[in-house]
């Protein structure tokens, strides 16, 4: 246990050293060109603050939910034979809950792209 604490402390020290090292070493040359938004090497045209609709974020969150599902199903598939019926029932409940979430999102119109 003490090795983990020492390692965590060293990582913390390294992070602080990098932050303060950047403060000391970095060049600071403020100018008008540094404060304009960067668009693929071209001068920006028009308003750069385009509002996104809430639907965009909602679809991104739904994607994350189903992406995380894969993260949990993969380890289950690796040890499938060791878990036997207990693992099968657990993953069935997990998939049913995810399917219920999908149906809820579908019924609320979250997946309708206009």
Per-position pLDDT tens, the chain of length 114 = 799 999 999 999 999 999 999 999 988 888 887 777 666 766 666 666 777 777 778 888 888 888 888 888 888 888 888 888 888 898 899 889 888 988 888 888 877 776
Q: Cα–Cα distance between 105 and 62 in angstroms, integer?
A: 8
Determine, yes or no, domain membership for 54: yes
- CATH of residue 12's domain is 1.20.58
In a domain, 114, yes or no: no
In a domain, 113, yes or no: no
Predicted local distance difference test score (pLDDT) of residue 38: 67
User: Would you state the pLDDT for residue 79?
Assistant: 86
CB 84 within 8 A of CB 48: no
Cβ proximity of 14 and 22 under 8 Å: no
**Residue 112 included in any domain:** no
Does the global pTM surpass 0.85? no
Residues 72, 94 contacting (CB under 8 angstroms):
yes
Q: Which domain holds residue 28?
A: 2-107
Residues 6+ apart with CB under 8 A from 95: 69
């Amino acid at each position: 246990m003490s090795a983990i604490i020492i390692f965590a402390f060293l990582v913390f020290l390294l992070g602080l050293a990098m932050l303060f090292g950047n403060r000391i070493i970095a060049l600071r040359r403020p100018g008008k060109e540094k404060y304009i938004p960067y668009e693929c090497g071209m001068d920006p045209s028009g308003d750069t603050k385009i509002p996104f609709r809430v639907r965009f974020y909602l679809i991104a969150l739904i994607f994350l939910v189903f992406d995380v599902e894969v993260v949990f199903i993969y380890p289950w598939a690796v040890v499938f034979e060791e878990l036997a019926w207990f693992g099968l029932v657990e993953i069935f409940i997990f998939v049913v809950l995810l399917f219920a979430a999908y149906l809820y999102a579908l019924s609320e119109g979250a997946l309708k792209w206009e």
